[in-house]
């Protein structure tokens, strides 16, 4: 098959790990005889220096002409966040792309692969065979509400949801649960928040269309505790924007590293932005030690959800697992391989 992917490396380690993913894509093209090409667009600090915008129109145009976006990371050093080059870079780029393409459903798989239980901060028996999917609503809620500094001592952030915004992401989550272990946990704070009470009303209505899926409600504070105490109890978790942001990052610690977590942000047409869940890590940028696993797994999600290439996605995941089981790991996982060396191992396993 033929396809076009917009690659937006961004800042920090983004270019290094995106290069790894493109190398793996080349191997997929060769093994499965596809013609999926890539086109690069600039975003973040480098784009701002050249164009005065963190997300130039040229990059948006490249993304519009593509089937999907493979995104790296954006953002600069913590102590430079107020400089024009970095100020609100993530907001302009990530939130901008989410709104532009209406990427309302964020899928973050939390999976502990066989033989990788030792990566987790939890006891191996707690995470053995863990396979949880967090579905996060991505373009509404408090992140997209009104943000106001009322006066020098008072600030206000507004969370807003409509029935339609809630229903469409719930249907994505129900569909996912129906194809997995048929259990859906709706996470909210309905004992306090009116938006959460609306989520529950809509969830109960949508549930009627999915009689085979077991649904439960859980408060977000309890969900965080249960993810740590017994993560394997969950199948699919669906929740609002901010809660999903927090829980999926907690999931990174449970799995072992944010460097292992891919994500897919989809719209109704299955156009998606695929990116690792970690940040730009400017402290290790250019050192060749970044773990590219989350970026490569994000490519696997792209092949699976945008192109329906399930065999190809499975092959990428199997190649990564084979590399780990052979002791071929990056330094953050206790190995000694550089970014490029680990990528080469995955490419070799994929070709074999």
Residues with catalytic roles: 143, 189, 221, 245, 249
Q: Which of 351, 253, 264 is nearest to 306 (CA)?
A: 264
d(Cα 305, Cα 182) in Å, to the nearest integer? 19
Contacts of 88 (CB under 8 A, 6+ apart): 54
Cα–Cα dist 71/60, whole Å: 13
CA–CA separation, 199 vs 322, rounded Å?
Answer: 41
Q: Show the 3-state SS of 183-241.
A: EEEEEECCCCCHHHHHHHHHHHHHHCCCCCCEEEEEEHHHHHHHHHHCHHHCCEEEECH
What is the Cα Rg of the chain in Å?
Answer: 20
Q: Which secondary-structure segment (H or E) carries 7?
A: strand 2-10
DSSP string, 120-144: SSS-HHHHTT-EEEEEEE-SSGGGG
């Amino acid at each position: 098959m033929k396809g076009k992917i917009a690659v937006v490396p961004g800042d920090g380690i983004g270019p290094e790990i995106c290069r790894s993913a493109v190398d793996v894509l080349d191997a997929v093209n060769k093994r499965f005889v596809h013609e999926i090409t890539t086109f690069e667009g600039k975003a973040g600090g480098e784009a701002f220096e050249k164009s005065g915008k963190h997300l130039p129109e040229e990059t948006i145009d490249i993304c519009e002409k593509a089937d999907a976006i493979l995104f790296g990371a954006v953002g600069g050093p913590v102590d430079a966040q107020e400089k024009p080059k970095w100020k609100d870079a993530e907001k302009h780029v990530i939130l901008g792309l989410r709104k532009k393409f209406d990427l309302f459903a964020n899928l973050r798989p939390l999976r502990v692969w066989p033989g990788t239980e030792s990566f987790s901060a939890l006891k191996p028996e707690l995470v053995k065979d863990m396979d949880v999917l967090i579905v996060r609503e991505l373009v509404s809620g408090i992140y997209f509400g009104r943000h106001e500094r009322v006066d020098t001592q008072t600030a206000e952030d507004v969370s807003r949801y409509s029935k339609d915004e809630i229903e469409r992401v719930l249907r994505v989550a129900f569909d996912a649960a129906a194809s997995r272990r048929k259990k859906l946990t709706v996470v909210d704070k309905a004992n306090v928040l009116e938006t959460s009470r609306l989520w529950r009303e809509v969830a109960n209505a949508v549930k009627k269309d999915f009689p085979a899926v077991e649904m439960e409600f859980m408060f977000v504070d309890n969900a965080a505790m249960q993810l740590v105490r017994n993560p394997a109890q969950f199948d699919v978790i669906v929740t609002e924007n901010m809660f999903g942001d927090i829980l999926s990052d907690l999931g990174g610690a449970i799995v072992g590293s944010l460097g292992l977590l891919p994500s897919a942000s989809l719209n109704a047409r299955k156009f998606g932005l695929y990116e690792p869940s970690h940040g730009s890590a400017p402290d290790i940028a250019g050192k060749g030690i970044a773990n590219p696993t989350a970026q490569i797994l994000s490519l696997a999600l792209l092949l699976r959800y945008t192109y329906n290439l399930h065999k190809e996605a499975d092959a990428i995941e199997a190649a990564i697992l084979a590399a780990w089981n052979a002791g071929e790991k990056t330094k953050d996982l206790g190995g000694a391989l550089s970014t490029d060396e680990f990528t080469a191992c995955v490419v070799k396993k994929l070709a074999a």
